[in-house]
Amino acid sequence: MDALSRATRCLLFVCLLGSLVPSTADARGLEEDLGRNEVRIYASRFWIEPGRTVTQLDLPRRLERLGYERRRGERPREPGEYFFGFEKFWFYRRPVRIGKKRYPARMIGLRLRREDGLILEGIDDGETSLRPKHLWLEPELLAESFETNRGRGTRISFEQLPEHVWQAVLAAEDARFFEHSGLDAKALARATLRNVKAGRVVQGGSTITQQLVKLRDLSPKRSMGRKASEAVRALALEAEYDKTEILPAYLNAVYYGHLNGVQIYGLGTAARAYFSKSARHLDVAESALLAAMIQGPNRLSPVRNPEAALERYRWVLTRLTALDWLTSAEMHASRRSGLPTLRLSPPPVPEAPHYLGWLEEEVDSYAPRRAAEDRGAVVVSTLDPLLQQEANKAVRVGLDRLRSAQPRLRSQPLSSALVTLDARTGDVLAYVGGDPRTGSDSFDRVRRAERQPGSAVKPLVLLEAFQKCGAQDPLFPARRISDQPLTLDLPSGAWSPDNPDRRFRPSVSVRHATVRSLNLPFVRIARWCGWHESAERLRSTGMEIPEPPPPAFALGAVETTPLTVARAYTVFGSLGRVARPRPFEKVYLPNGRLLVQRKLSTQKVVAPATAYLIRDLLEDSVRRGPAAAAAVDGHTAFGKTGTSSDSRDAWFAGGAGSLVTVVWVGLDDNGSLGLSGAAAAAPIWKAFMEAAIPLRSAHNIGRPPKVVELWIESETGLLVPRKRDGAELELFRKGATPPKRRRLKADRPIPEID
């Protein structure tokens, strides 16, 4: 009787509280108001820039990923639709909440140039010009959990569903849903008596509203105290929101088991997973089966336990008939047919699983207490969904190409990593931590795989050489370096580096050494400017160089990660500044309060003119060196290949437009890949960048004022006033130019660096 007494007191308290909860007519949108333990990861808003074409920005694909439907021949009529015409592009943006700020649904138009779809300006519904701050697409939902095996959800609204779809759920879970105020006293009393007789909790008696509270706000632990708490919160929920908001919120949150290892949440997702159709197109039998699964989604799975699923399915049909929501004839016809035919289609998992792992670590580090309590968060990431899609495709196709061309690699643990940063901000735009085909692989090669980048480090060695060069005069692209054999006496023994082509030349210019990726000149450059000074400049880009620096660091014989290399290469994309990678912009609490804001962080490493000179060498390398395998049609790209000793690792690092991208290819067991950066990594880089560059804002690098173009005599290295035989045009930084050749004296050539 004590248990009965406690349950009765809880019931009376809850009912009394229900009479005190005020009602509100201002329903704020339950789908936007998250529960305390819910997680949402969004892409950032995509800003639409006039001056770009609709095709370049791929606006239709972006909208379709957001679930928009295209209307033909007329403007959109309701949120979630768009129209693409010759002179106008319209989209009816849905209402969206970002933090605590709510943006209502709004019609946005783009006036286009007829011949090519160039966006001229933004306009409102009355075709009045809009300021650029209004031209954006709502953030795309990337994931509803940090777990990488949760299928991407397909959300539904009440208006989208035929009656028979939601009636099946009510028949199975809460037939009096539209009659009660959050609690069903009859069901609760019946469950209480059963629980008391059993001496434990054997029946919940929960309404759909209570279940929604449990799914989104409270732990699933079942106890008398917990049930009372659910009841209190259910009453408050019903007082604030309409039934037609609560029901779809529940349907979007309910668990439907797992299929092929992928967790399925939400009726819309389940409809596509089990029947390959949208929830609005489910028939009566299919709706009844999905409703039947809710009680025990894995135990009642029609795939794993068809007999148990059939029994529960028939019960739902009988219940629908008893409620007069289904005729006897329809019920008997469905029962005779057995389970409806399944057309299985597991939902896609998040496209950037390793990136989600990084975000989870970041949130944990900034809010460890919330992480320990398993509380929710809303993360506004920096990822661009279209770039991520293209990155996955480029890596997947590139690895398949390598396996096809190199049969020996088919049985090897071949993998790859790709990371793209906005060179100006460090925003992480695309992130592939391994082979996209192996989604269960949790090892993140972008941040965790420390490998030797080889020649990809050489342009970073030039930062010190062109900026200061220790106690020497700064170098310039035309400065000549000896390419003869070299032996250094090190504590570990004699070291004799070699060139990749195993050939030697009397001397070469820095430009030639960079374009042809020669080793001996770069060892000499680092020695000339000072091992310590050269290493320290590399450290300023984020690279880790041991102390004392081993001479081989000038050839990339240091271990680092693709993310670190990408960070260092932003110095060439932003002309002198290195941007710290930023994986997210903000983290909010589920109630919209700002928890963390990740500000931009950049650091000046060299002068813009210095970075520009090296970038010019890297552009030349893509035009006519080993890096030519990465040349991007229609765009000026800069980049450098990298191949570690014994051809274990293949790299390509570079950029174009506003992007800096690094690709690594290798074997997870650290065995020899046997391929160069040009052969293995550059094609992946090229395929990705060709698709990615137009999708982002233009970023044209102009020549800094302190970079000058002068004629230089090839034989002596001295400046001459104008073009003459044996002279060539070269770039220099003001204040770091060679002497002029005098007319009346036979000046000595500038000595080569040895």
Nearest-angstrom CA–CA distance, 106 and 138: 11
In which band, very low, low, confident or very high, does the pLDDT at 224 lie, cut at 50, 70 and 90?
Answer: low
* Mean pLDDT computed over 291-316: 95
> 270 lies in a domain?
yes
pLDDT at residue 22, rounded to an integer: 32
Surface-to-core class of residue 440, CB atoms within 10 Å of its CB (0-12 exposed, 13-18 middle, 19+ buried): exposed
Higher pLDDT pick, 381 / 184: 381
Based on the fold, state whether residues 219 and 267 are members of the same structural domain.
yes
Q: Is residue 453 part of a domain?
A: no
Q: b/e string for 469-499 if b means 16 or more Cβ within 10 A?
A: bbeeebbbbbbbbbbeebeeeeeeeeeebeb
**Token duo for residue 532:** 């310590």
Give residue 300's Cα distance to chain centre.
35
Query: 3-state SS of 313-358?
Result: HHHHHHHHHHCCCCCHHHHHHHHHCCCCCCCCCCCCCCCCHHHHHH
Answer with the residue of higher pLDDT: 185 or 119: 119
| 73 within a domain of the structure (yes/no) | yes
Out of 259-268, 551-560, 694-703, pick the least confident. Answer: 694-703
Residues 181 and 131 in one domain: no
Q: Is residue 448 part of a domain?
A: no
What is the maximal distance between C-alpha atoms in the chain? Answer: 118
Residue 678 within any structural domain of the chain? no
pLDDT at 31: 63
Q: Flag whether 469 is in a domain.
A: no
Instruction: Give the per-residue pLDDT at 23.
Output: 32
pLDDT above 60 for 217: yes
- Position with higher pLDDT, 591 vs 124: 124
| Same domain membership, residue 183 and residue 235 | yes
Look at residue 525 and give its three-state secondary structure.
helix
User: What confidence score (pLDDT) does residue 216 get?
Assistant: 77
Query: Scanning the structure block, which residue is given the tokens 């991520």?
Result: 388
Residues 274 and 331 in one domain: yes
DSSP string across 284-295: HHHHHHHHHHTT
Does the pLDDT value for residue 306 go beyond 80? yes
Q: Which of 10-24, 77-91, 302-316 has the weakest average pLDDT? A: 10-24
Q: Which of 304, 336, 368 is the last residue of a domain?
A: 336
On the question of pLDDT at 574 being above 90, the answer is yes
The pLDDT of residue 20 is above 80: no
Evaluate the omega torsion of the peptide bond into residue 548 and state whether it is cis, within 30 degrees of 0: yes
Both 24 and 129 in a single domain?
no
Same domain, 115 and 207: no
Domain count, the chain: 2
Asked whether residue 98 is domain-assigned, the answer is: yes
Residue 81 lies in a domain: yes
* 8 A C-beta contact, residue 642 and residue 453: yes
Q: pLDDT digits over 715-748, tens only?
A: 888 998 887 777 899 999 999 999 888 765 667 8
User: What mean pLDDT is reported for the chain?
Assistant: 89
What is d(CA 141, CA 353) in angstroms, rounded to the nearest whole number? 14
Strand ranges (E), 569-637: 577-579, 584-588, 594-597, 602-604
Instruction: Give me the percent of the chain exceeding a pLDDT of 70.
Output: 90
- pLDDT over 60 at 6, yes or no: no
Strands 638-643 and 602-604: what pairing? unpaired
Asked whether residue 569 carries a pLDDT value surpassing 50, the answer given is: yes
The CATH number given to whatever domain includes residue 116 is 3.30.2060.10
Domain end marker among 113, 138, 163: 138
pLDDT of the residue at 354: 95
Query: Are 156 and 22 members of one domain?
Result: yes
Cα(134)–Cα(369) distance, rounded to whole angstroms? 37
Q: Are 166 and 61 found together in one domain?
A: no
Check whether residue 237 and residue 293 sit in a common domain: yes
Domain holding 154, by residue range, is 2-28+30-34+147-336
Asked if 62 and 88 sit in the same domain, the reply is yes
- Shared-domain flag, residues 127 and 164: no
- pTM comes to 0.88
Q: Which is more confidently placed, 542 or 67? A: 542
Q: Is the domain of 87 the same as that of 229?
A: no
List, for residues 438-487, the tens digit of each pLDDT value. 866 889 999 999 999 999 999 999 999 999 999 999 999 999 999 999 99
**Among candidate residues 80, 107, 138, the one where a domain is terminated:** 138
CB 415 within 8 A of CB 428: no
The CATH number linked to 186 is 1.10.3810.10
